[in-house]
Amino acid sequence: MTQTQDVLPNVPNQEQNISNLERTWRRGRGLIGWLSVTTHQAIGMRYIVTAFIMLCVGGIEALLMRIQLAKPNNTFLSADLYNQIFTTHGTTMMFLFAVPVMEGMAIYLVPLMCGTRNVAFPRLNAFGYWMFLGGVLFLYWGVFTGAAPDMGWFAYPPLSGPQFTPGKRTDVWAQMITFTEFSALCVATEIVVTILKMRAPGMSLNRIPLYVWSLLIQSFMVIFAMPAIVVASSFLLSDRTIGTHFVNPSEGGDPLLYQHIFWFFGHPEVYIIFIPALGFVSAIVSANARQHVFGYPAMVLSQIANGFIAFGLWVHHMFATGLPQIGEAFFTASSMMIAITSGVQIFCWIATLWTGRPRMTTALYFVYGFIAIFVLGGMTGVMLASVPLDLQVHDTYFVIAHFHYVLIGGAVFPLFGAFYHWFPKMTGRMMSERLGRWNFWVLFVGFNLTFFPMHILGLKGMPRRVYTYPPEVGWGFISQIATAGAFVIAIGGVMFLINVFRSRKSGAIAGNNPWDADSLEWATSSPPANYNFEYLPAATSRSPMWVPREERTFVTGLRTDRREVLVTTLMDAEPHHRYVLPGSSIWPFITAIAASITFVGSVFNPWYIISGSILIFVGLLGWFWPRRAAEIRDEA
């Protein structure tokens, strides 16, 4: 066996160790093996690929909408089709692309950055992915059978209630949410536990890489935000399927209650998407400015503050519903506070670049693009926090421009940067930097061409979610520019795909640490072995890979004939005990099938909840069936 780590401790029986690890951590063969995989790299990659396919699908939906809006009174799409497409576009991008892709990157990178062998709950991880896939298939089954949701991705009652959207479209949407809730909560739980209990020895809280910090914060946010959408979608579903009256005003329910609960989830959701992206930016900046991100404590505290404030400003989505003035003032102030914590981070990155010597990789180009776009989105965000301004631009194209600036600028640009940055780690090959530059510029120009004019459209009175508009309002020309821009973005996307496929086949060999970056994922081979590290690394500084080779230390003495990892203490990451992770299993997949039958069936008949629970119980029985410890099995 070849060694994959640059430096290894001097211990006896290294060859034996490695071949044991290979055997213990190998993935199963064949279809059953593929469905049973619990390796975090495989699951992370499945999330990333599935989410990326969803990005392409959502992008195609966006193009269809842009074609429809390119000229007044266009008949390319009917009202019904347009409403289905904009709802599916929003739903896909939020629930099936943005959150899952961040989760996938986290599942892939966090165990590597923490210097461990897998996530804390590998089977739960597999289960989470299958549930996510179930959500994807369910929604798109709806799309292709004419049951695509058409009431907007926010599904406000009473429009989403049984009276105004009969049929199954809204139910498909609400139940798809349930799938993604499950998946997000699974990922959040295991990421939190992995970060808190499985860090490399020595990686005390003040040495955690900023990206890992961002995931810790994001995962806690998921844990607190998702229950709100569970409540909202359950209200909606039970009003629709079993005739309850939570949010149905014709039965005495309160439609505003739904909005409050939805946005109590919905606003943090946005930060759930872009906080990990800020982590990407930190990692890319420190690797390419060749130094630590300036102001580590300020960065961490700002992100934690972001996480808290995110839960205190949902009402700025509801200013037009008619609130008392004191409430408006409070939510204006809390919404603007986000600008402080985000501002601190921007200042720290600029300071890092300023005092460093930026090496202009494609990833860093995307970071500069991120700063240019995201800061503008932040400025319009401050405008939207102001109640009087919001009353004018709320639910117009100005808002569409704003949130694409913060979500594409704040999350997708860093994400592309992250793809360029970690592609070598994930595949072992470099992406083409030359094509990468082109890719960046095409995306950057296309993005601004598409979304900048939308600010003007909004001020000129164009509301969101209209399938067409008459010529006399004068939105035609600006809309045409936006449509042209959307196709430029599409070209940028295709360039990225070409770069991925070409580089995967024939890119330059990357080696372990092509960027000379500072965090632990660069300590192992590219791509990493199933067990990540032959010897778990220890973190002797905040930038373990910038510690001279001879000073790096390792954990020895873990058993290699079972899936053993080291559990460390929460604060200082001192070694605490050894822990055996469960191996591959088909049961998470079977349980996910059972849960999918339950959820999908319940849309048509509430009794599926009861019968489905029995199926899930069978799945869990297999999942948790006790097994004899490895050493006893080996002797038998």
Partner 1 sequence: MNWVGRAAKLALLAALAAAVAFGATDVQSAVNPIGPQSGKIANLWWFFFWLLGAIYIVVMIAALWTLTRPNRGFGQEPLEHTHQLSPETDRRTSRVVAGATITTIVILFVLIVASVGTGKGLSELGEQKNSLTIQVMGIQWWWQVMYQTSDSSIAVTTANEIHIPVGRPVQLRLLSNDVIHSFWVPNLHGKTDLIPSRVNTQWIQADKPGVYRGQCAEFCGLQHAHMIIYVVAESPDKFKAWYDRQLQPAAAPSDPVMQRGQQVFMNNACVYCHQIRGTDAAGQNGPDLTHFGSRLGIAANTVPNTPGNLGGWIADPQSTKPGNHMATIALNSADMHPLINYLESLK
Q: Which stretch binds partner 1 (CB under 8 A): 46-54, 78-86, 401-409, 554-562?
A: 78-86
Q: Is 191 a binder of partner 1 (CB under 8 A)?
A: no
User: Residues in contact with partner 1, total (CB under 8 A)?
Assistant: 87
Q: C-alpha distances in angstroms, 328 versus 177, 323, 339, 341?
A: 30, 7, 18, 21
- Judged by beta carbon, residue 343 or residue 622, the one nearer partner 1 is 343
79-91 vs 169-197: helix axis angle to the nearest 10? Answer: 10
Q: Is 76 a binder of partner 1 (CB under 8 A)?
A: no
Alpha helices (H) along 573-629: 587-604, 608-623
Q: What is the largest CA-CA distance in the chain?
A: 84
CA dihedral 612, 617, 623, 625 (to 10 degrees): -160
Residue 306, token pair as written in the block: 């972001």
Tell me how far, at minimum, the Cβ of 174 lies from partner 1, in Å.
Answer: 17
Q: Is 329 a binder of partner 1 (CB under 8 A)?
A: yes
Tell me how far, at minimum, the Cβ of 289 lies from partner 1, in Å.
Answer: 8
By CB neighbour count within 10 A (0-12 exposed, 13-18 middle, 19+ buried), where does 621 fall? exposed
Q: Is 332 a binder of partner 1 (CB under 8 A)?
A: yes
Find the binding residues for partner 1 in span 80-139 (CB under 8 A): 80, 83
Are 291 and 356 within 8 A, CB to CB? Answer: yes
Q: Is 74 a binder of partner 1 (CB under 8 A)?
A: no
Q: Is 396 a binder of partner 1 (CB under 8 A)?
A: yes
Q: Is 206 a binder of partner 1 (CB under 8 A)?
A: no
Taking CB under 8 A as the criterion, the residue among 9, 463, 511, 622 binding partner 1 is: 463
The amino acid occupying position 401 is A
Q: Is 549 a binder of partner 1 (CB under 8 A)?
A: no
Residue in the block written with tokens 């000379």: 516
Taking CB under 8 A as the criterion, the residue among 32, 53, 79, 580 binding partner 1 is: 79
User: For 434, how many CA atoms within 13 A lie in the half-sphere containing its CB?
Assistant: 3
Q: Which stretch binds partner 1 (CB under 8 A): 99-107, 389-397, 524-532, 590-598?
A: 389-397
Q: How many residues are present in the chain?
A: 636
Q: Is 292 a binder of partner 1 (CB under 8 A)?
A: yes
Binding characters for partner 1, 358-377, by CB under 8 A (x = yes): x-x-------x--xx--xx-
- Judged by beta carbon, residue 329 or residue 629, the one nearer partner 1 is 329
- Judged by beta carbon, residue 43 or residue 457, the one nearer partner 1 is 457
Alpha helices (H) along 198-243: 210-241
9 vs 550: CA distance, rounded Å = 10
Binding characters for partner 1, 467-496, by CB under 8 A (x = yes): xxx--xxxx---------------------
Q: Is 376 helix (H, G, I), strand (E, B) or coil?
A: helix
Q: Is 433 a binder of partner 1 (CB under 8 A)?
A: no
Q: Is 339 a binder of partner 1 (CB under 8 A)?
A: yes
Q: Is 550 a binder of partner 1 (CB under 8 A)?
A: no
Tell me how far, at minimum, the Cβ of 120 lies from partner 1, in Å.
Answer: 31
Tell me how far, at minimum, the Cβ of 457 lies from partner 1, in Å.
Answer: 9
Taking CB under 8 A as the criterion, the residue among 28, 227, 356, 527 binding partner 1 is: 356
Q: C-alpha distances in angstroms, 160 versus 38, 154, 169, 343?
A: 38, 9, 9, 38
Find the binding residues for partner 1 in span 221-250 (CB under 8 A): 249-250
Sequence-distant (6+) residues with CB within 8 A of 16 are none
Are 61 and 92 within 8 A, CB to CB? Answer: yes
By CB neighbour count within 10 A (0-12 exposed, 13-18 middle, 19+ buried), where does 339 fall? middle
Nearest partner of 111 among 20, 199, 238, 240, judged by Cα: 199
Q: Is 301 a binder of partner 1 (CB under 8 A)?
A: no
Q: Is 141 a binder of partner 1 (CB under 8 A)?
A: no
Q: Is 558 a binder of partner 1 (CB under 8 A)?
A: no
